[in-house]
């Protein structure tokens, strides 16, 4: 990382401005008495994991910190234009998500359409797309520009949405995004893409400012806006890496995003298997099973203010393993593919183990009540 600070002497003040901008707005929203339609919804929803109501406007703090830092302290005219294009690409996601976070219920297809529109803007402004995923037959199809563009938007939309799927515990989506930012920054340094690494450090600073308010007490939630903005930003930086550095294994990049992608794919499978709509919410995500297991084994449900942040630490420890493997196997495609298979098996096995543990406890509790 020393090269980044040497090349960008203003990186430290930029990162600090991003951090304090995000922290200030996050504190203000956590204290504000804005009674939106969705205020308190997290306590009533099927996937609720919280004990207190909070605003879902944390994403505004992250975006504010980023915009403030990147536009005021840009390092060159070219980079300033890059950041302006990036912020423009956020417009469909940002305004659609804000409407949802403030209380208007939006159909899932509308949110996905907004994410896809932001993705299309990213392709238009930055001229990047998936050109290879290290699978021969698919790579042949990606050689056709129109197929590549559609496939890129589809994949990026799915990954961006997956960040909202894991936003279920205090600090989980933000903490994962922080790990992901540092991992991608290391990748950028290794391929000498120092501008990307510097931008990721500024992003990490904005995330950290929000996390100080969000974790462990959950005084402010990331909301759809924050989850989608972080997912969009990180996935398009990853696509840029794929486009500009074909020597980097696509499966290594997949390992960096493994946790939200695995959670999303398994959630879709689980709901289809139960004959539910794919968009139907439930309380069977991996992080929710971890939290309930902690409550069953140690704390009890009455101490969810502790089980929630503790579950975040446990899940982030699991999520960090594939991220570390991705950084380790950057240029070793075979090892990266084997790692994806191994972590997929571990994810499914761990999930089923947690599910069995929770079901046994539920049956045991029902038997005791009957007795």
Which is more confident, 17 or 360?
Answer: 17
Q: What is the pTM of this model?
A: 0.90
The pLDDT score that the predictor gives to residue 1 is 60
Round to whole Å and give the CA distance between 261 and 45.
Answer: 23
The token pair at 233 is 């930003």
Which is more confident, 259 or 274?
Answer: 259
The pLDDT score that the predictor gives to residue 371 is 42
The token pair at 259 is 């946790």
Question: Would you say residue 226 has pLDDT above 80?
Answer: yes
pLDDT tens readout for residues 329-340: 999 999 999 999
By C-alpha distance, which of 139, 135, 189, 148 is closest to 3? 189
Residue 35: which pLDDT band, with cuts at 50, 70 and 90? Answer: low
Query: Please, what is the average pLDDT of the chain?
Result: 87
Residue 76: which pLDDT band, with cuts at 50, 70 and 90? Answer: confident
- Ordered by start, the domain boundaries in the chain are 2-370
Round to whole Å and give the CA distance between 20 and 67.
Answer: 12
The pLDDT score that the predictor gives to residue 370 is 44
| DSSP secondary structure letter of residue 38 | T
Cβ pair 281, 46 in contact under 8 A: yes
Cβ pair 198, 83 in contact under 8 A: no
| DSSP secondary structure letter of residue 92 | H
Residue 40: which pLDDT band, with cuts at 50, 70 and 90? Answer: low
pLDDT tens readout for residues 342-353: 999 999 999 999
Contacts of 296 (CB under 8 A, 6+ apart): 357, 358, 361
The token pair at 296 is 């069953």
Among 109-113, 236-240, 258-262, 274-278, name the one with the lowest average pLDDT: 274-278
φ/ψ bin of 55: left (φ > 0), alpha (ψ from -120 to 50), beta (otherwise): beta
3-class SS of residue 55: strand
The pLDDT score that the predictor gives to residue 139 is 92
3-class SS of residue 142: helix
The pLDDT score that the predictor gives to residue 94 is 92
The token pair at 307 is 């089980």
C-alpha gyration radius of the chain:
20
Cβ pair 190, 330 in contact under 8 A: yes
Question: Would you say residue 22 has pLDDT above 80?
Answer: yes
The pLDDT score that the predictor gives to residue 49 is 57
Any idea what the Cα angle at residue 356 is, between residues 350 and 360, rounded to 5°? 150
Residue 327: which pLDDT band, with cuts at 50, 70 and 90? Answer: very high
Residue 270: which pLDDT band, with cuts at 50, 70 and 90? Answer: confident
Question: Would you say residue 70 has pLDDT above 90?
Answer: no
């Amino acid at each position: 990382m020393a090269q980044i600070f040497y090349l960008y002497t203003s990186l430290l003040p930029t990162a600090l401005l991003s951090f304090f901008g995000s922290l200030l707005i996050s504190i203000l929203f956590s204290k504000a008495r804005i009674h939106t339609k969705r205020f308190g919804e997290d306590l009533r929803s099927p996937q609720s994991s919280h004990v207190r109501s909070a605003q879902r406007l944390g994403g505004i703090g992250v975006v504010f910190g980023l915009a403030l830092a990147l536009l005021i302290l840009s390092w060159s005219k070219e980079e300033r234009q890059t950041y302006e294009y990036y912020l423009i690409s956020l417009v469909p996601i940002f305004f659609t998500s804000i409407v949802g976070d403030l209380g208007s219920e939006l159909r899932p297809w509308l949110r996905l359409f907004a994410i896809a529109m932001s993705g299309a803007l990213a392709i238009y402004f930055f001229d990047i797309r998936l050109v290879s995923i290290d699978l021969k037959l698919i790579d042949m199809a990606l050689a056709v520009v129109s197929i590549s563009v559609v496939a890129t938007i589809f994949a990026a939309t799915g990954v961006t949405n997956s960040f909202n799927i894991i936003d279920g515990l205090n600090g989980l989506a933000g903490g994962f995004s922080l790990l992901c930012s540092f991992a991608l920054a290391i990748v950028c340094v290794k391929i000498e893409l120092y501008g990307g690494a510097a931008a990721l450090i500024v992003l990490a600073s904005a995330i950290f400012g929000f996390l100080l308010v969000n974790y462990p007490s959950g005084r402010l939630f990331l909301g759809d806006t924050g989850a989608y903005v972080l997912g969009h930003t990180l996935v398009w930086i990853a696509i840029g890496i794929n486009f500009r550095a074909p020597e980097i294994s696509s499966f290594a990049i997949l390992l960096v995003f493994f946790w939200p992608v695995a959670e999303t794919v398994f959630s879709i499978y689980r709901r289809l298997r139960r004959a539910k709509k794919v968009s139907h919410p439930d309380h069977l995500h991996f992080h929710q099973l971890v939290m309930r297991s902690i409550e069953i084994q140690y704390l009890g449900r009455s101490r969810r203010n502790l089980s929630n942040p503790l579950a975040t630490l446990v899940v982030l420890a699991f999520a960090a393993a594939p991220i570390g493997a991705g950084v380790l196997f950057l240029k070793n495609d075979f090892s990266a593919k084997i790692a994806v298979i191994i972590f997929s098996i571990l994810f499914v096995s761990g999930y089923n183990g947690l599910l069995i543990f929770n079901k046994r406890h539920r049956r045991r509790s029902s038997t005791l009540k009957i007795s």
